Chains A and B, each alone.
Chain A
């Protein structure tokens, strides 16, 4: 079958303004959008810029907008699409470097701001720090994040305010806030209780729909909101 891809183009070294280029390629129903992008880059236009690494939905490099919604290019098959015409655009809310490549640094700045690492000042035990299955289950969902930015860049609150930490940072804070072995939950909740923290979330649910790992992002954000409120009421 033939698939027509309308792809957003922007080259900072070119005088042409941002525009769309259209390519028609042969495709199998089981081809991924990433395969089609590779085919275009390999045979039709070598200047096309996009990110990819593992190509198996693990590295999170190839988050793009496919027909107006954030998805990983390596996880969407041609047969999953309703139309043979596909519009490909970069994710929203981050500066566009070239074509489908965005500057991820502002996203990672927010990620780093919530202390996304294990904190425990007690001397390490001789073996591992034990945790019950129930305690592990408490934050299991949010351990799956691959930092693709699909959630944050689907969020209208993030689009309009670059200071908002965004869903991905909150998900990664959640992963440690509810870890029974961690000792810095109070600090993280303090950070997320600030003006551009968790209460900028308006429960829009775009993040949950966009997550390629099916993380219940809005629920995680809700649990962090609740933890902050409970802590303030104590």
Chain B
């Protein structure tokens, strides 16, 4: 009997797709990060406003922590810029031949934007 066609997560992750595949994986992870953030926010607001519950405050502490904020800011910036790159390539398929350049351009936008944001966030965090 033939072995199933199912591709395990570990088998897929071992495929050496290079930079573009990494961008796709990061796009998925950052999308999940944003969903988690929004979900936590909605749940916290619901419990705080409806029941005045401490549970909402506990959830607030999670997503307002500096580590979570640093993660979520990266998710939002990467997801936005990479998504925009994909939309541009989808609308103008002839640009797909420049996809490597588009990936460099993307990081050229993301890194200074994220670096500046992190700098301001940490500065404010240290100021209390």
Contacts and interface: CB of A to CB of B under 8 A. Distances in A.
Contacts of A154: 15, 17
Interface residues of A, number: 33
Interface in A162-200: 162
Contacts of B11: 92
24 contacts: A12-B2, A68-B15, A69-B15, A92-B15, A93-B5, A93-B7, A95-B2, A103-B2, A154-B17, A156-B12, A159-B12, A202-B86, A203-B24, A203-B96, A204-B17, A206-B15, A206-B20, A216-B97, A219-B97, A222-B90, A222-B96, A223-B93, A225-B90, A226-B93
A203 B99 CA distance: 10
Nearest to A65: B15
Given A218-B96, A223-B93, A225-B90, 9 more contacts: A12-B3, A68-B15, A94-B5, A160-B7, A203-B96, A204-B17, A209-B17, A209-B18, A219-B97
Contacts of A4: none
A206 B7 CA distance: 16
Nearest to B20: A205
Contacts of B20: 203-206, 209
Interface of B: 1-5, 7, 11-12, 14-18, 20-21, 24, 86, 89-91, 93-94, 96-97, 99
A40 interface: no
Given A154-B15, A206-B21, A223-B93, A95 B5 contact: yes
Main secondary structure of the interface of B (DSSP, over half): helix
B96 A67 contact: no
A203 B5 contact: no
B90 A96 contact: no
